[in-house]
Chains A and B, each alone.
Chain A
Amino acid sequence: MTLDSKIPSGPLKDKWEKYKFEMKLVNAANKRKYKAIVVGTGLAGASAAASLAELGYVVEAFTYNDSPRRAHSIAAQGGINAAKNYPNDGDSIWRLFYDTIKGGDFRAREANVYRLAQVSNNIIDQCVAQGVPFAREYGGLLDNRSFGGAQVSRTFYARGQTGQQLLLGAYSALSRAIGKKQVTMHVRKEMLDLAIIDGKARGIVTRDLVNGKIESFWADAVILATGGYGNVFFLSTNAQACNVTASYRAYKKGALFANPCFTQIHPTCIPLSGEHQSKLTLMSESLRNDGRIWVPKNKGDKRRPNEIPEEDRDYYLERKYPSYGNLAPRDISSRSAKEVCDEGRGVSATGFGVYLDFADSIKRLGKKVIEERYGNLFEMYERIVGEDPYTTPMMIYPASHYAMGGLWVDYNLMSTIPGLHVLGEANFSDHGANRLGASALMQGLADGYFVIPYTIGDYFAKNKFDKVTTDHPEFKKVEAEVVEKTNKLLSIKGKKTPTMFHRELGKVMWEYCGMGRNEAGLKKALELVPKIREEFWQNLTITGEGNDLNISLEKAGRVADFLEFAEVLLWDALERDESCGAHFREEHQYPDGEAKRDDEHFAHVAAWEYTGVGKKPNRHTEPLVFENVQLAVRSYK
Chain B
Amino acid sequence: MRLTLYIWRQNNAYDKGRMEKHQVNDVLEDMSFLEMLDVLNEKLILEGKEPVAFDHDCREGICGACSLTINGIPHGHEKATTTCQLHMRKFKDGDSIYIEPFRAKAFPVIKDLIVDRTAFDRIMQAGGFISINTGNAPEANGLPVSKKNADLSMDAAACIGCGACVAACPNGAAMLFVSAKVSQFALLPQGQPERKKRVLAMVNQMEKEGFGACTNFYECEAACPKQISVRFIAMMNRDYLCSRVTEPVEV
Contacts and interface: CB of A to CB of B under 8 A. Distances in A.
B121 A551 contact: no
Interface of A: 47, 50-51, 54, 65-72, 74-75, 84, 86, 122, 124-131, 133-142, 158-159, 161, 163-165, 168, 171-173, 175-176, 178-179, 185, 187, 210, 239-241, 273-274, 276-279, 281-282, 379-380, 383-384, 386, 449-450, 453, 495, 497, 499-500, 541-544, 548-552
Contacts of A544: 50-51
A553 B240 CA distance: 46
A289 B65 CA distance: 31
B147 A122 contact: no
Contact of A552 (B34, B45, B184): B45
Interface in B49-89: 49-51, 53, 55-65, 80-81, 85, 87, 89
B35 A129 contact: no
Contacts of A383: 81, 85, 87
B36 to A, nearest CB: 8
A47 to B, nearest CB: 7
Given A70-B65, A128-B143, A543-B45, 9 more contacts: A65-B63, A126-B135, A128-B137, A133-B157, A172-B128, A176-B125, A240-B59, A383-B85, A542-B45
A135 B150 contact: yes
Contacts of A75: 58, 60, 62-63
Q: Which bracket fits the contact residues of B?
A: 35 or more
Given A131-B130, A176-B131, A239-B59, A386 B188 contact: no
15 contacts: A70-B65, A72-B57, A74-B64, A84-B141, A124-B140, A125-B137, A131-B190, A133-B184, A165-B154, A172-B128, A240-B57, A384-B32, A499-B42, A549-B114, A551-B53
A51 to B, nearest CB: 4
Nearest to A449: B134
Interface in B104-144: 110-111, 114, 116-118, 120-121, 124-141, 143-144
Contacts of B185: 131
Contact of A67 (B110, B121, B137): B121
A41 to B, nearest CB: 11
Please provide the 6 A-B residue pairs with the shortest distance between their CB atoms, ordered closest to farther.
A140-B144, A179-B125, A129-B137, A172-B129, A125-B137, A133-B154
Contact of B62 (A161, A240, A450): A161
Contact of B56 (A127, A168, A240, A495): A240
A86 B125 contact: no
A276 B140 contact: no
B146 interface: yes
Contacts of B161: 67, 69
B124 A175 contact: yes
Contacts of B81: 383
A278 B126 contact: no
A549 B111 contact: yes
Contact of B118 (A66, A137, A276): A66
Contact of B141 (A67, A142, A172): A142
B66 to A, nearest CB: 10
A159 B154 contact: yes
Contact of A278 (B35, B134, B190): B35
Contacts of B12: 548-549
A129 B144 CA distance: 12
A344 to B, nearest CB: 24
Nearest to B26: A276
Contact of B132 (A66, A129, A495): A129
A552 B60 CA distance: 22
A129 B59 contact: no
Contacts of A172: 124, 128-130
B31 interface: yes
B214 interface: no
